Each structure stands twice: as structure tokens, then as C-alpha cells.
Amino acid sequence: MSNFDNIKGKYPLLIEGLCNAAKSHRLAHAFIIQGAMAESRNKFALALAQIGCCPNRAENGEPCQVCNICRAIDNDNYADMTKLTPEGKAFQIKVGDVGNPLPNTLRNFTDSFYFSKISSAERKVGIIYEADRMNSEAQNALLKTLEEPPRESLIILATAKPKSLLPTTVSRCHLITLTDKKLNFTFAKQKELFSALFSAFNADGDLLQLEESAETIIGIAESLKAEANDKIEAEFMPKIEQAKEFDDKLVKRLTQLMSDNAVGCYIGERMQFLSAIYCFFAQLALLAEGADFDNLPNSEVFDSLEVKKSEIPLEKALNAVKLAESMIYSFNFFVNEPLAIRSFIFNI
């Protein structure tokens, strides 16, 4: 199934509205896509790019999905699409120098809209991933382009935290909210995490069992950075090895991008890890309140676990949810993460 068909299946009313707007030449020039899951936001952004760019739309406004432009967007090599991602240890979107901005900076991003189009697409596209990582200076540098967009342009901001954007930025964009009932986790040791959480929940004061659970969860948290590095290296190293044959500057640039992307990937994995902890206890609480396994949004968290909803104390499950919320909030600050996890486990 194509990305567009997948997104259409998940968000049929949103896609129908956007296709109708494109059909009647009323598609807005700027959108904010907000949603909890980065994968959903990013794939929706590509579907929206196809809606805006396809020169051979169907009668209902849907992209044809077979033209060179649709296929290029699907394959992430569309020449008239510019992407902007956070970078560096601070994981920020940099504003860039006036007049000569480096690649992957806000000013380089906005400058790209004023170049001549390469393809026959209806629009040029710019996508800013994790747009909340723009500071005030970067957002202010974007305002002129949002206020007076070049003709045939489409700007898409994807974020889980639209409240972090300036009101002046939000007011110039159409907001699309993606509501995902089901959370998707991609980090490698999720089954081990759910097993350790369940063990801690059923420890009944057994300090050894609690300590074993805490050590397992801390180990999983500490493995996320190496997992993120491995994922990004697998993506970038073939490109770097190829670039070594003809362009030392490109090698340096790709190496820096690999490092920056590894930071971003780790932050995403860390957010997933914390969301998974909250999700697990939220599912327990739903069971304790009488929900059926088949109706749970994320019933897979209990795969391989012997869970009997009649034996789940509701008050204890609700308390675990509150403790998870508190721990997740504390991770926004410079806390001792192993200590925070251990404290959380011993207070369930």
C-alpha cells in the first residue's frame, strides 16, 4: 500500500477536505501538522505534498500517485522539496546567516522558495520537521515567507508541541490535528520493558524483584543512544563511503549530518520509551476499569504476559499512571535519570 493510501485510510476526512481544496484551487500555502506520533506527522506531510504538487490529479482532487512527481515525493528525492530538521547537541533548528546561510538552516530553507522550479509540479514544498525546535529568532525569520509566500509554494510544519510555536507563526498556518488512538513503538527492547513494568507492578513489596525490574528498565533506557547511533550509521555510512571517492567537503557535511541525526533519533527513541511506560499503565488502568482486551488501543503491550484484569487493583493502576506522568515531566529537566526510574519503580 502506498503512503498516500495508508494516510487516506487512517485520516479519510482530513484527506478528503484537502483534496477538495486542491481541486478547487483553494489549498492553503502553510500548514501545521500536529500529532503525538512523529511517523504519522511525517507521512501525512508527504501525502499533503503529493496533494499540493501532483499535476495530474483525479477528479476528486487526489494525486495520481504514478507521475514522476508523485513517485519522487514518495521516494524522498523530489527536486522541488526542501526539508529542514533540528541538528546539533542542542537539537535546534538554526536560523542561518543572512546572505550566505548554510544548508539545513531556516534562511536557506526560505531562500529555496525563490529559486526557479526544476519540475513541472504545481508547487514547491518545504517541510520543517520538529518545528517546535525553532527558537524565536528562527520563527521570526520565517514570518516574512509565511506572510508573503512566493507563488506556488507549500510550507508544512510538523510538530508534537504546537504550543511551543509563536502565536504569530500559528496564526499564519492552517492547523491539522492527527488523533492517533494507537501508539506505535519502534525501539528494540519494548517487550523487555513491558515485562519489567509488569513484574514491578506485581512485586507486592518484594525489594529484590523491584530492583531487578528497575535495573532492566534503566539498562533499556541507556541502550537507546547506541540503538539510535546504529540506525543512523546504517543510513549514512554508505553515502559517506561513496562521497569519499570524489568530495572531501561532502564527506565532512554528511558526517556532521549523521551526528546531528543521531541526536534527533535518540531524542525520538527516548520520547517513545517514556510514552511506552505511560501507555503500559494506562492500558492496565483501562482493564481494571472493565475494558476488554480486544478494545484496548495498545493491547500488544500485554503480549506474552499473563494478565488477568480481575486481579488488577484499580487504585494501584491509576497511581502508576500518575507516577508515570510525574516521571515523564521530570525528564524535561536535568535529572539523574537512573535515580528517577528507580524511584518511580519503587513507588508503584
Structural domains of the chain, count: 2
169 and 206 belong to one structural domain: no
Structural domain for 83, as ranges? 3-177
Q: pLDDT class for 134, splitting at 50, 70, 90?
A: very high
What whole-number distance in Å separates Cα of residue 252 and Cα of residue 258?
A: 10
237 domain residue, yes or no: yes
Report which of residues 117 and 224 the model is more confident about.
224
The percent of residues in the chain predicted with pLDDT above 70, rounded, is 100
Residues 290 and 154 in one domain: no
Residues 283-292 have pLDDT tens digits of 999 999 988 8
Give the C-alpha separation, 226 to 265, whole Å.
Answer: 10
Same domain, 162 and 246: no
* 206 and 128 fall within a common domain: no
Q: What is the pLDDT of residue 58?
A: 94
Q: Is residue 83 in some structural domain?
A: yes
Look at residue 181 and tell me whether its pLDDT is greater than 80: no
Place of cell 509554494: 153
The answer, as to whether pTM is greater than 0.85, is: no
- Residue that finishes a domain, picked among 177, 206, 221: 177
Residue 29 sits in a domain whose CATH number is: 3.40.50.300
The pLDDT tens digits for 280-321 are: 999 999 999 988 888 888 999 999 899 988 889 999 999 999
DSSP bridge pairs for 72: none
Q: Assess whether 151 and 249 both reside in one domain.
A: no
Name the domain boundary from 177, 204, 239.
Answer: 177
Do 97 and 209 fall within a single domain? no
Whether the per-residue pLDDT at 182 is higher than 80: the answer is no
Q: What is the pLDDT of residue 90?
A: 76
In terms of domains, do 153 and 84 share one?
yes
pLDDT in tens, 80-117: 999 998 887 778 898 988 888 888 899 999 999 988 88
| Mean pLDDT within 1-21 | 93
Q: Is 183 part of any domain?
A: no
84-116 burial, b at 16+ Cβ within 10 Å, e below that, comes to bbbbeeebebbbbeeeebeebbbbbbbbbbeee
Considering the domain architecture, whether residues 88 and 123 belong to the same structural domain is answered as yes
Mean predicted lDDT score pLDDT of the chain? 91
The reported pLDDT for the residue numbered 311 is 87
Per-residue pLDDT at 91 = 81
Q: Does 307 lie in the same domain as 268?
A: yes
Q: Of residues 52 and 335, which shows the higher confidence score?
A: 52
Q: Are residues 14 and 143 in the same domain?
A: yes
Same domain membership, residue 262 and residue 219: yes
Q: What is the mean pLDDT of residues 56-82?
A: 92
Task: Evaluate whether residue 182 is within a structural domain.
Answer: no
* Mean pLDDT across 17-45: 93
Give the pLDDT of residue 131.
Answer: 95
The answer to whether residue 184 sits within a structural domain is no
At 155, phi and psi to the nearest 5? -110, 130
